[in-house]
Amino acid sequence: MRLNKYIAQAGICSRRKADELTKEGKVKINGAVMKEPGYDVQDGDVVMVGGVTLEAPEQHVYYALNKPCGYITTTSDEKDRPTVISLLTDVTARVYPVGRLDGDTSGLLLLTNDGDLTYHVSHPSKKVYKTYLALVAGYLKKDELWALRNGVDIGEKRPTAPARVTILKEKSDTTLLEIQICEGRNRQVRRMCKAVGHTVLELQRTAIGEIKLGRLLEGNYRKLTPREIEYLKNC
Ligand code: URA
């Protein structure tokens, strides 16, 4: 890892400031002054800044969780409700959710301690489609389906962006929809369905871009594969 990134990840300053400190001769590697900001820090290198030894940055870890309903997507809760973090029983790294799912929504949630990746994936300019299965009350008329696909007014400045919506099944008085959206507005799927007159009875996220929930059981989690991590970094 580049020296300036290593120093910045220790949380003491920005990468630019790290470059300045390095050029000023305030950084030592294994006891010797290092003035090259582009130095590639090796495993086992001891990095000192201004006489203080930095702790090696945490390794990045990436998980996919099948969030059950009833768990909230925060790291701690003042009302003492169970959090998604409490499900990661053998994860010692301090990870954070990438985006969020409502308490009453189940399904795929990504968690990581890689802040750059979280920022990258969550940025509105990234058109990563999230896929949901929504069981809604009633049957959808053609114009309602059209509206969902083309954008609906959910009481904000702008209507929702075009969505991919498919009717999967019509049962007794309910319809199972697959909805793919590339925005992440608060309770968006529920509000979109409500806007066309249908209450969401159950909601599950089944994919984020190419990352699939698959057969992961509710409450269980798995590590993302190197390929999935690469995909998220480049999406
Ligand atoms: N849309 C919702 O309504 N809820 C979620 O949790 C995610 C998307």
Ligand 1 center–CA 93 separation, angstroms = 27
C-alpha 175/C-alpha 156 separation (Å) is: 26
Give tens-digit pLDDT for 18-77.
Answer: 999 999 999 999 999 999 989 999 988 999 999 999 988 778 899 999 999 999 998 777
Count of alpha carbons within 13 Å of 192, Cβ hemisphere only?
33
- Report which ligand 1 atom has the smallest distance to the Cα of 102: 6
Ligand 1 center–CA 58 separation, angstroms = 31
C-alpha 151/C-alpha 18 separation (Å) is: 46
- Does the pLDDT of residue 79 top 90, yes or no? no
Q: Decide if 153 is catalytic.
A: no
Ligand 1 center–CA 30 separation, angstroms = 50
Residue 96 — very low, low, confident or very high, per pLDDT cuts 50/70/90?
very high
Rounded to 5°, the CA angle 184-188-192 comes to 140
What mean pLDDT is predicted for residues 187-212? Answer: 98
Burial of 105 from C-beta contacts in 10 A (0-12 / 13-18 / 19+): buried
Residue among 98, 114, 92, 93 at smallest CA distance from 65: 98
CA–CA distances in Å: residue 185 to residues 39, 100, 125, 144, 214: 41, 10, 14, 20, 24
Ligand 1 center–CA 121 separation, angstroms = 17
Minimum mean pLDDT range among 1-10, 140-149, 171-180, 213-222: 1-10
Q: Give the residue, 165 or 118, on which the prediction is more confident.
A: 165
SS3 category, 233: helix
Quick one: tokens of 183? 């925005």
What pLDDT, on a 0 to 100 scale, did the predictor assign at position 116? Answer: 83
Q: Structure pTM?
A: 0.82
Cβ atoms < 10 Å from Cβ of 86: 13
What pLDDT, on a 0 to 100 scale, did the predictor assign at position 69? Answer: 97
Residues 51/28, Cβ–Cβ less than 8 Å? no
Give tens-digit pLDDT for 103-154.
Answer: 999 999 999 988 888 888 888 788 899 999 999 999 999 999 999 999 999 9
Rg of the chain on CA atoms, in Å: 22
Protein residue whose Cα sits closest to atom 4 of ligand 1: 187
Alpha helices (H) along 74-225: 115-122, 142-150, 188-195
What pLDDT, on a 0 to 100 scale, did the predictor assign at position 225? Answer: 97
**Which residue do the tokens 């992961």 mark?**
216
Probe target for ligand 1 pocket from 69, 74, 102, 156, with the most ligand atoms within 8 Å of CB: 102
What mean pLDDT is predicted for residues 206-231? Answer: 97
- Does the pLDDT of residue 216 top 80, yes or no? yes
- Report which ligand 1 atom has the smallest distance to the Cα of 184: 8
- For the chain, the maximum distance between any two Cα atoms, rounded to a whole number of angstroms, is 75
What pLDDT, on a 0 to 100 scale, did the predictor assign at position 169? Answer: 98
Active-site hit among 77, 102, 116, 143: 102
Ligand 1: list residues with CB < 6 Å: 101-102, 105, 187-190, 203
